[in-house]
Amino acid sequence: MNEAQQLKLQALLDGELPEREAREILAWTQRDGAAAALLAELKNTRQALAKSEPHLSVSESREFYWSKIEREIQRLEPRATSATGFSILARLRRRLLPASALATVVIAGMIAHFNAPQAVVENVADADATSVETTLANSDATTYRDANEGTTLVWFSPAVDDSPANNNIPAAIN
């Protein structure tokens, strides 16, 4: 029996042969005693190994085994991990940030809507009572002051950060 024939026998056992070839090899084992004996040996070995993998356990304690893993994870990504409470808070904060920015814009808009027309029309000639000024050189913030109403509106327009959540966030100061 040559090596190729031996490997065919094994392939038959492992179900790796095409159907026609499997039938041929099976017929051969029925005619050839040596082939049948080798096939039986391979089968016995396979059966012995099946579901007989030795059971092994880590001898180190849970804490000791984990400590090395934890240390390495923390070393590789110190800020990526967190305790549960912190992670929930962080996720909540991330989700609420755009909503809170939008709410601030809406409130400021409403204040401007109810106050500004009256202030502008009534005080358009009175430069001291109502004024609009750009407070920063690169136009980061604009202040709207209504002396009659005692209202100051500061309008922030970040020049560098163009993310939607940070654009045009007004703050009303009374």
Partner 1 sequence: MSGNNYSDDEALVKAARHGELAAFEELVFRHRDQIYARAFSMTRNEEDAVDLSQEAWIKGWQRLKQFQGESSFTTWMTRIVINLCLDHLRKQKRQRADSIEEMDDESGGVERQMPVVTVNPTAGLERAELRKKIDAALGQLSAEHRTILVLHEFEDMEYKEIAKTVGCSMGTVMSRLFYARRKMAMLLANVRKDI
Where along the sequence are the contacts to partner 1 (CB under 8 A)?
Answer: 3, 6-7, 10-11, 14, 16, 34, 37-38, 40-42, 44-50, 52-60, 62, 65-66, 68-70, 72-73, 76-77, 80-85, 87, 91
Smallest distance, partner 1 to C-beta of residue 101, A: 24
Tally of CB atoms within 10 A around 152: 15
Identity of the residue, 77 or 133, whose beta carbon is nearer to partner 1 in the bound complex: 77
Tally of CB atoms within 10 A around 93: 10
Token duo for residue 54: 């030795």
Identity of the residue, 30 or 84, whose beta carbon is nearer to partner 1 in the bound complex: 84
Token duo for residue 66: 């984990």
Identity of the residue, 8 or 145, whose beta carbon is nearer to partner 1 in the bound complex: 8
Q: Beta strands 169-173 and 141-146: pairing type? A: unpaired
Alpha carbon distance 43, 50 (integer Å): 10
Beta bridge partners of 144: 132, 153
Smallest distance, partner 1 to C-beta of residue 13, A: 9
Smallest distance, partner 1 to C-beta of residue 100, A: 22
Token duo for residue 55: 């059971």
Smallest distance, partner 1 to C-beta of residue 86, A: 9
